[in-house]
């Protein structure tokens, strides 16, 4: 029997945005047929870097060709049946203070590979974003998703002080985002890490503060990719692009920076 990978995160990048009362599509997820219970974690992302604590979304499961089942809040449970009406599992969810919903799916039997799908309905009066995970344990399902603007660029002029650069960071995943780079870490291209949060909770925002060494801006324009040391599982999401742009007489030069041919990320974080 093939054992499925223990962890998946959806969507592949960013978040699923749903307007008020909007219904998402049925999204397949893999389940290891040798494991029970199985867990999904769904975070409902508010607009202002804080959990709203409002109406819970409708979380619906479908297995094989069975009817779609609305999952209730624990301690109530709902049966999830296949196309023949046979019970495959029961499911319920719990909610934490960060608006992370943990769905527990208790299998009625093991050893049969099935097709599982999740559908989300936003019942809140405002647009929300959604990110969700699937795994064989709560621990494996708990992961952050870092969102930040990767390009860091500052104008350096001869005779002027260089201000610090603030890089906003948001966590739209289901678990805490933990940074471990030491303060004063050299980030490349004349930047260093001046301060950072230790941890950013789901549905929260914070910032990295970067110092700029003015003397290091003697040289050609340059981009140096730097991968932050944090528990974000996707490398591209945690890659900064510190950029050196020289401005010896005030205005920015018209030439664009070169990129060192190592580790440049592609795609959305």
pLDDT for the residue 174: 98
Average pLDDT on 248-260 reads: 42
Nearest Cα neighbor of 148 from 180, 172, 174 is: 172
Return mean pLDDT, the chain. 89
pTM: 0.87
Burial 127-153 (b: 16+ CB within 10 A, else e): ebbbbbbbbbeeeebbbbbbbbebebe
Domains of the chain with CATH codes: 7-141 (2.60.120), 146-259 (2.60.40.10)
Average pLDDT on 5-26 reads: 94
Q: How confident is the model at residue 4 (pLDDT cuts 50, 70, 90)?
A: low
Calculate the dihedral angle through the C-alpha atoms of 59, 233, 145, 245, rounding to the nearest 10 degrees: -160
DSSP one-letter string for 74-105? TT--EEEE-TTS-EEEEEEEEE-TTSEEEEEE
Of all residues in the chain, what percent carry a pLDDT higher than 70? 85
In the predicted model, is pLDDT for residue 257 greater than 60?
Answer: no
The length of the chain in residues reads 269
* Segment 127-184, tens digit of pLDDT: 999 999 999 999 999 999 999 999 998 776 666 777 899 999 999 999 999 999 999 9
pLDDT for the residue 38: 98
Average pLDDT on 110-137 reads: 97
pLDDT for the residue 157: 67
Specify the long-range contacts of residues 51-54, CB closer than 8 Å, at least 24 apart.
51/97, 51/98, 51/99, 51/202, 51/203, 52/99, 52/124, 52/126, 52/128, 53/97, 53/99, 54/124, 54/125
Nearest Cα neighbor of 58 from 46, 48, 68, 47 is: 68
* Segment 199-241, tens digit of pLDDT: 999 999 999 999 988 666 666 778 999 999 999 999 999 999 9
In the predicted model, is pLDDT for residue 88 greater than 50?
Answer: yes
pLDDT for the residue 7: 87
């Amino acid at each position: 029997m093939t054992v499925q990978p223990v962890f998946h995160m959806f969507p592949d990048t960013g978040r699923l945005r749903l307007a008020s009362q909007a219904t998402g599509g049925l999204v397949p997820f893999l389940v290891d047929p040798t494991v029970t219970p199985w867990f999904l974690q769904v975070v409902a992302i508010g607009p202002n870097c804080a959990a709203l604590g409002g109406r819970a979304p409708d979380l619906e499961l479908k297995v094989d060709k069975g009817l779609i089942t609305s999952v209730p809040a624990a301690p109530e449970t709902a049966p999830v049946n296949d196309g023949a009406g046979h019970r495959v599992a029961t499911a319920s969810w719990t909610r934490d203070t960060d608006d992370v919903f943990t769905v527990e799916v208790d299998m009625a039997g093991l050893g049969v590979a099935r097709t599982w799908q999740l559908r989300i309905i936003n019942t809140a009066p405002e647009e929300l974003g959604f990110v969700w995970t699937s795994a064989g344990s709560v621990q494996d399902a708990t992961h952050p998703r870092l969102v930040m603007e990767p390009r860091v660029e500052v104008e350096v002029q001869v005779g002027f002080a260089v201000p610090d650069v603030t890089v906003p960071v948001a966590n739209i995943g289901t678990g805490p985002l933990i940074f471990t780079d030491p303060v004063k870490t050299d980030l490349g291209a004349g930047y260093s890490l001046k301060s950072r949060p230790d941890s950013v909770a789901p549905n929260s925002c914070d910032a990295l503060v970067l110092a700029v060494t003015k003397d290091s801006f003697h040289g050609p324009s340059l981009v140096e990719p730097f991968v932050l040391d944090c528990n974000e599982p996707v490398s591209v999401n945690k890659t900064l692009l510190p950029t050196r742009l020289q401005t010896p007489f005030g205005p920015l030069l018209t030439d664009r920076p070169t990129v060192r041919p190592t580790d440049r990320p592609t795609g959305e974080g």
